[in-house]
Amino acid sequence: MSTSSKAGVQTYKNFINGKWVPAVSGATFPVYDPSTEEVIAQVASAAAPDVDQAVAAARAAFDSGPWPATTAQDRGKILHKLADKIRQNTARLADIESRNSGKPIIEAEYDIADVATCFEYYAGLANKVMGHVNPVPANALSFTLREPVGVAAQIIPWNYPLLMAAWKLAPAIAAGCTCILKPAEQTPLTAIEIANYFEEAGLPPGVVNILNGLGETTGAALVAHPGVDKVAFTGSAAVGKIIVKSAADTLKRVTLELGGKSPNIFFPDADWEAAVDGALFGVFINQGEVCSAGSRILVEKSIYSKFVEAMTEKTKRIKLGAPLERETKMGPLVSKEQYDRVSSYLEIGKKEAKVAIGGGRPKQFGKGYYLEPTIFYDVDNSARIAREEIFGPVASVIPFDGESEAIRIANDTPYGLAAAVWTRDIYKAFRVVKSLRAGIVWVNHMQPTYVEAPWGGYKQSGFGRELGPWGLEEYLETKQVFVNLDETPIAWY
């Protein structure tokens, strides 16, 4: 695999307390273009001393200075300005995102639009946070104040880099928290880019710090740091478990979004073309690097063979290509590591099931981490390709016999992030919806996600919810204020 020398590529710093600073050690790590395998940037690699600086900055900004004095209206205005800056720079941000992550440019443009919408949503929500008056007996008054939880460490993945940053930063800012965002080491460039907008938007120094580095060092040090009050994480279940254990030492608040092995269920009465498209879109969009990928495709036996055939035929028409070409529907995987991981699952799958299409590297690309969209069929739900999150363009098609078997197979997984069901029968649709253990169930669609509605997992897909008012809630504490209205002495002795 080719690499280019350190010379000639730009080196980016960390953003701490409103300033760009190199790592204390001077270390950097390389960032790649996954379609060329070339190094496109070097980024400051934070270790414990940098984490200390970032936490100190976020702590100070939370405890004193202009930020605690801002009103909810002020914070809403800041979020609106960030949204405006992001929208004005859509083309530039989408270009960086597509180059760095390998996702098709049209997908990157949708993502950036969603990023701006997310900041706008929380801009509007900032001054709608209200406490309650609690119905205690008449000799007292009790009410609740909603207060920011404090310093939030936000650790995000590489599949939707700036969107995951937005889902974490926007509600935290609205709530009045301060943040240390650690982008994935594969895809730090868009988060670095938007830090350039912070001062103009009115964010005081230290409120949002962008700290880059590796998960095992920078991420782990943030999670363990006593100056951090909350960890918000999106990524692998394996790292989620490490985070919960480490955060236990300081009893931080933790929210986790850990992906899944989501079932996409097809009954014979579904709209045929929409169903076949929905199966492919559900699993192959964003190269299958999607936490809610519909990677287990459950099809009723009476249509099973025809459905696999139709999926196979349509898969041939999916355009693989360079991320920046507008016709491209699937680009390369994000990194060599992910390419190797998914490739190893392709070999496992060939032993566990039959291949309808794909199964390896597409021949037309000399370089880049491209993999063919792959459909395995006659997959047993106990197979590794049906149980483990692959996070690449790999579908496992599983036959079922009737509604109750579909539900049983769908729920037979440690995960519970998402599910979808395709049928024209509303009785059946809603019976299935109620039976599935997942944080979202789509009916006759798969993947649309709106900032107004909650997002998060059941079971080992994590806990806590992002987006909507639920997402803001995770950044708030509840303080009860009790006022005694009875002047009679207590006289308890």
Closer of 242 and 443 to ligand NAI (Cβ) = 242
Q: Contacts with ligand NAI: how many residues (CB under 6 A)?
A: 26
Interface residue with ligand NAI among 75, 182, 230, 261 (CB under 6 A) is 182
Asked if 153 and 235 touch (Cβ cutoff 8 Å), the reply is no
Interacting span for ligand NAI (CB under 6 A) from 179-187, 310-318, 399-407, 432-440? 179-187
Q: How far is the CB of 236 from ligand NAI (least distance, A)?
A: 3
Q: Is 474 in the site for ligand NAI (CB under 6 A)?
A: no
> Within 13 Å of residue 214, how many CA atoms lie on the same side as its CB?
7
- The phi, psi pair for 347, rounded to 5°, reads -70, -40
Closer of 76 and 294 to ligand NAI (Cβ) = 294
* Residue among 145, 57, 413 at smallest CA distance from 264: 413
Interface residue with ligand NAI among 148, 150, 188, 215 (CB under 6 A) is 215
Q: Is 242 in the site for ligand NAI (CB under 6 A)?
A: yes
Q: Residue 405: CB partners within 8 Å, gap ≥ 6?
A: none
Interacting span for ligand NAI (CB under 6 A) from 254-262, 274-282, 419-427, 435-443? 254-262
Interface residue with ligand NAI among 220, 254, 297, 398 (CB under 6 A) is 220
Tell me the C-alpha distance between 221 and 48, whole Å. 6
Q: What is 174-227 written as a DSSP string?
A: HHT-EEEEE--TT--HHHHHHHTTHHHHTPPTTSEEE----IIIIIHHHHH-TT
Interacting span for ligand NAI (CB under 6 A) from 40-48, 252-260, 421-429, 445-453? 252-260
Q: Which position's Cβ is nearest ligand NAI?
A: 215
Site string for ligand NAI, 267-306 (x = CB under 6 A): ------------------------x---------------
Closer of 170 and 223 to ligand NAI (Cβ) = 223
Q: Is 161 in the site for ligand NAI (CB under 6 A)?
A: no
Closer of 106 and 214 to ligand NAI (Cβ) = 214
Find the helix or strand (DSSP H, E) in which 396 lies: strand 394-400
The SS3 call for residue 449 is: coil
Closer of 224 and 432 to ligand NAI (Cβ) = 224
Give residues 100-159 in contact with ligand NAI (rule: CB under 6 A).
155-157, 159
The rounded Cα 124 to chain-centroid distance in angstroms is 22
Residue with tokens 């205005």: 77
Q: Is 235 in the site for ligand NAI (CB under 6 A)?
A: yes
Residue with tokens 């519909």: 294
Q: What is 3-72 written as a DSSP string?
A: ---STTSEEE-EEETTEEE--TT--EEEEEETTTTEEEEEEE---HHHHHHHHHHHHHHHHSSHHHH--H
The token pair that represents 73 in the structure block: 């209206």
The token pair that represents 193 in the structure block: 């880019």
The token pair that represents 360 in the structure block: 């390896």
Interface residue with ligand NAI among 184, 195, 279, 375 (CB under 6 A) is 184
Q: How far is the CB of 256 from ligand NAI (least distance, A)?
A: 9
Which residues of this chain interact with ligand NAI, rule CB under 6 A? 155-157, 159, 182, 184-185, 214-216, 219-220, 223, 234-236, 239, 242-243, 257-259, 291, 341, 389, 391
